[in-house]
Structures are given as C-alpha cells and as structure tokens.
Structure 1
Amino acid sequence: MTSFDNVLEEIGQFGLFQKQLFFLMCFISVVFSPIDVGIVFLGFVPDFRCSNPAADELGRKCGWNAEEEMNYTVILPDDSVDPLYFSQCLQYDTNWNQTSVSCTDPIRNLTSYSNNNMTVTSCTNGWVYDTTGSSIVTEFNLVCDDSWKLDLSQSVVNLGFCLGSLFIGYLADRFGRKPCLLVSLLITAIFGVLVAFAPTYSWLVTFRFLQGLVSKGSWTSGYILDMSYYCHPILVAEIVGLDHRRTVGVIYQVAFTVGLLALAGVAYFINNWRWLQLAVTLPNFVFLAYYW
C-alpha cells in the first residue's frame, strides 16, 4: 500500500511549497517564546523599600539625599536576620513627625531606641520601587510576603501547557491541523490581550492560565518532534519527507530562540509591562491570515 511518504519521495520531500509553508510556521514558534519566558520582563523585580510618607517629609525638611534618608529611617538589621529582607520588608514603627526627631542620626535620638525596645512593623504604606517602568511586581506589589505570587503567575502558564498538550493531539486529529492551528492562535491572542488589561492579580493569573492552555496548541500544531515524544503528527513534519523532518524540527526550535532574542529587544524599548504584553501578543492576530 502506497503511503504519503512514498508519494513525497516521488514528487519531492522538501520542495518550494514545503519550504514556504515551513517558513510561515516558524513565525508561530517565534511569537510563542514570550508566552513561555516573558515573565522575565513582565515580572521584573526592581530594588524596593518601604514607603513612609512621614519619613519622606522629614527627609525633605532635613535636606537629606536618598542615601541619607535610607540610612536614617530604614531599619538596621542585627546579625541574626537577613539584612535584605529587613531593609525591604520592615520599617521602624515610629512617628517621624514627632518633635523629638532630629535631623542628625534621628534613630539614636529616639527614647525607644535608646531603651533597646524599638519596634518594627511591615510596610503598611506599600513600597517605593527604584524603576522608571512598571511590571506586575510593582503594580500588584508582589514582594515580601506576597513574593510567591510571582512564581504562581508563571506556574499556572506551565500548568496550562501541560493540560493543553493532553487534548491538542486529539483535536488536531479530530478536526484537522489547520482549524486547530487557527482557533488556538485566535484564543491565544484574545487571552493575551486580556492579560494586558487585567485589573487585578486574580484576573491576571486566570487569563495567563487560559492563554497557556491554548497557546501550546498553536505551537505544537507547527511540527512534530518524533513519535516517541508527541503521539500525533503535526503540520510541518507531515508535509516534509522523512529525510528532512529532523532538520525542520531543529530549525523550528531555532525560531523559538530567535523569539527570545526579539523579546529582549522589544523589552529594552518598552518598560511598561502592559504595553509589552500587547506588543508580543498582537502578532498572533496577523497569523489568522494563514487561513488563506
């Protein structure tokens, strides 16, 4: 019985049409990389400290520069604690506007400090971030006790990848490669835009999970690594002869790496995470033209 591979051997295993189609599919691999590793820029963690309006006002009255204000008003840790955590996540529980506070080493002039019972508290007024841009960390304050939420925002994407990979093979076999590819691209683009407009952290996590759930479909619908890794044949590998399937698989991964380099370049010029999310998501709508 003649197989499709036998036909390809006769008409050409990697002709002009296959090369054109493969070239178009590589762009899908390029735009998938920001979904996978974009958290590096979307979740950038700048230097930060507790926000204390009263201490800031005292600093202005005393004419302190930023370094002096930090030295005078941010907690000074002892040897038993993590100095980074103390300087970023705790502050002195005192009224910096009281008359007993001086401009010269104000901490040591406080009675409570001299009695060694100076209390500390969490950053009740939020944080000040040393950056001109914004990330999901600075917008939703994912630091200190809430720093685990940054990892969760990426973990849900990976969970989506895992769950999406379970059913994408069946859908591609049941409804066809092309419909599966186009629908997954559309849904990926929609949820990517919703991520950029997420009003709260909860909605952000929800949209990222749903984007991860379907985006793996658009990526895996581009090619097949081998039958031991994916149990379903996919578009690019199917239309290429056996002698070239390993090559197109490797180049498809190279396209993913190109996407990483492009992401770094885009993030260099766009330091607002919402605009960055839009910039890396909107190209997915362009790929709907692959319908033709």
Structure 2
Amino acid sequence: MMHYDDILKNIIGELGTHQKICFFLLGISTVPVMLIIMSPVFLFPPVDTWCKYPDSNELRQHMCINNSTGNCDELVKNLMIPKEKKVAGCETQLKNEQCHRYNISFDYVSYYPEANIYSYINQTGKIECDHGWEYDRSQYKSTVTGQFDLVCDRFYLNALASSIFMLGFLVGSLVSGYVLDRFGRMKGFMLTNGGVIIFGIIEAFSPNYVVFVVVRFFLAMCTIGRYISSFVLGE
C-alpha cells in the first residue's frame, strides 16, 4: 500500500534547493511580524513621570546658588513634586506622584528661607498638573505615553491602543482569507507586505493619538495577512 508521503514524493519530488530557498525567504519575512507584535513593550514602557512646574529654569538657578549640592534638578523636583508609596516587586518604594505637584511658586521659594518653604507646602497642599508632564528619559528617549501624555486621566488610552491593535488582528484574520483566495497567495503577500511598510512609516510620524491608533489598526490587519499568506506559500 502506498502512503500519502510516497504519493507527494512521486508528484513533487524531494525537498530541493528551490523549496529550501523559498522556505528560508518566507521565514525571514515573518521576523518583522514578530517585531511588530512585540513593539508595545517599547512603545508603552512604564517610566517615571511627574508634573512640570512653572519657572523651572529660575528655580534651578536659585537652588544652585543657595545650595552646595550639584544635582539641582533632583533638589527642585523633591521640593515641587510629592512622593507616594508604590509596590515594586517585594518592596515598597517612594515614587514621584504623576498627577499632582505642590502648590508653590518661584516667588515664595526665592524670598523665604527653606524652613518656611516646607511649612508653606504643608499648608497649601497639592494641586493637579497644570503645566503638563516631565518623563524620565534615562532609559527610553521617546515613548508613545510621553509623546501623547497618556497619563493620569488619560492612562487608559495605553491599554486601548493595544486593544485596537489586537482588534486589527481579528479583522485581518477574517479579511485576509478572502483576499488571498480572490487575488492569489503571492499577490496577497505582496499587497499585505506593502501595507506593513506604508502603515509602519506613517505610524512613526503620527501627529496625534487618534491617527496613531487608526494606523496601528490597519498595520495589524496587514501584519496578520502577511503572516497567513507566507504560511500558506510555505506549504
């Protein structure tokens, strides 16, 4: 009795050089797919965030003159930004609050001694960030969170962007089957491959959050379409 593998061997032959080259090239083409799927790790990393405070340059100059410490930025930040306890692994650490700063101005800092400053802070309390946010750029120079200020009451937009991206995967999985059957595997592969390149470039220059998530949706559609087409071609 002839087995199915023997029938295929008689019809298409052994795995030859042509098949190996095609398989290798198709395998390489799926690498960007994995990079795009893993991109949220670098697009939305957790970074230390704190409120911008008014007269920041004047505060730095004043604190540098009147204090011997060399780290003026850290000194001013500790003065203007309250701390909160956060759990990090098995220990609790003091982190900068993201959504509040002390209600204190440069005028008061420049004319009153340090002891009175802290007494004034305890009396006036905290206010919400009214001048935007600063981001720790020691590890990540630029993130989506920092570019579009997705913090505090906009923090949920980080997860929403990832959800819309996965929705694009779902829609792309449904649509790509029809596209591949309608236009052919190779044409579908080239079409989705071009879509990944185009939407990937547009994503990098997104001017606002809405454009970013819309482009990510279509990027996800093309990404899963390219993966499915390359998988079918590899068979």
User: TM above 0.5, one fold?
Assistant: yes
List per-residue Cα deviations over 1:26-53 (Å, max 9, x = no partner).
1111111121111211223422211113
- 1:53-68 equivalent positions in 2, closer than 5 A: 53-54=54-55, 56-63=57-64, 65-68=72-75
Contact 2:164 2:213 (C-alpha < 8 Å) held by counterparts: yes
Conservation of the 8 A alpha-carbon contact between 1:49 and 1:127: yes
If asked which structure has higher relative contact order (CA below 8 Å, sep 6+), I would say: 1
Give the distance between the partners of 1:99 and 1:48, measured in 2 at CA.
23
Pairs within 5 Å for 1:217-236:
217-223=225-231, 234-236=232-234
Counterpart AA for 1:27: I
* Distance in 2 (alpha carbons) for counterparts of 1:120 and 1:146: 20
Q: Which has the higher strand share?
A: 2
Note if contact 2:53-2:131 (Cα within 8 Å) is conserved in structure 1. yes
Counterpart for residue 190 of structure 2? 182
Q: List gaps (5 residues or longer) in structure 1.
A: 224-233, 238-292
Give me the whole-angstrom Cα distance separating, in 2, the residues matched to 1:102 and 1:8: 89
Number of the residue aligned with 1:168: 176
Q: Any idea what the Cα deviations from partners look like across 1:118-157, whole Å, max 9, x if unmatched?
A: 2322211111222151111211111222122122222211
> Partner of 1:159 in structure 2?
167
CA distance in structure 2 between the partners assigned to 1:39 and 1:77 by the alignment: 27
2:127 match? 121
65, 69, 73: which one pairs with 2:80?
73
Correspondence for 2:158: 150
The residue that corresponds to 2:100 in the other structure is 90
Q: What is the aligned partner in structure 1 of residue 89 from structure 2? A: none
Displacement of 1:70 in angstroms is: 2.5
SS at 1:222 equivalent: helix
Alignment partner of 1:215 is 2:223: yes
CA contact (8 A) 2:54 2:105 kept: no
Percent sequence identity over aligned pairs? 30
Distance 1:172 1:127, change over 3 A: same
Show the counterpart of 1:134: 142
Give the Cα–Cα distance (whole angstroms) in 1 for the partners of residues 103 and 131 of structure 2. Answer: 12
State the AA in 1 paired with 2:106. W
Unaligned runs of 5+ in 2: 87-92
Aligned to 2:52: 51
Cα RMSD after superposing both structures:
2.7
TM-score (norm 1): 0.66
**Kept after mapping to 1: 8 A contact 2:108/2:117:** no
Aligned to 2:118: 108
SS of residue matched to 1:221: helix
Check 1:41–1:190 CA distance in 2 against 1; reply closer, same or farther (3 A cut).
same
TM-score, normalized by length of structure 2? 0.81
**Residues matched between the structures, number:** 217
- Assess, with a 3 A threshold, how the Cα gap between structure 1 residues 208 and 179 changes in structure 2: closer, same or farther: same
1:8 aligned partner? 8
Amino acid at match of 1:94: I
Q: Given the superposition, is the C-alpha separation of residues 163 and 13 from structure 1 closer, same or farther in structure 2, using an over 3 Å criterion?
A: farther
Q: CA deviation at 1:183?
A: 0.5
Q: Is contact 2:80–2:104 with CA below 8 Å preserved after alignment?
A: no
Give the match for residue 267 of structure 1: none
1:217, CA displacement in angstroms? 0.5
1:20 aligns with 2:18: no
Aligned to 1:204: 212
Alpha-carbon deviation of 1:76? 4.5
